Amino acid sequence: MSGDIVLAAKFIGAGLSMIGALGAGIGIGLSVQGALEGMARNPDTYGNLLTNMILGIAFSEAIAIYCLVIAFLMLFVL
């Protein structure tokens, strides 16, 4: 019985840790929005904006990836 509770706690914890992806999603959406608006107003800056946008996405995506790693650790390692 105790083993079952531990297993359930693992799954619940993994699910809860993925809540952090919420912020990363909002952040990625905002940065893409900004970049697209810039591109639409000034199409010449397309290349420059694209690389910077991908960099910004990578930074905010890293937060979601931390959550994912914590979830993986709970599911497969602990």
Binding site for other proteins (CB under 8 A): 51, 54-55, 58-59, 61-62, 65-66, 68-69, 72-73, 76-77
Residue 42 phi/psi, 5-degree rounding, is -135, 85
* CA-based nearest residue to 55, from 31, 75, 38: 31
**C-beta closer to other proteins: residue 46 or 72:** 72
Cβ atoms of 76 and 10 within 8 Å: the answer is no
In the complex, what is the shortest distance from the CB of residue 35 to other proteins, in angstroms, rounded to a whole number?
15
In the complex, what is the shortest distance from the CB of residue 73 to other proteins, in angstroms, rounded to a whole number?
7
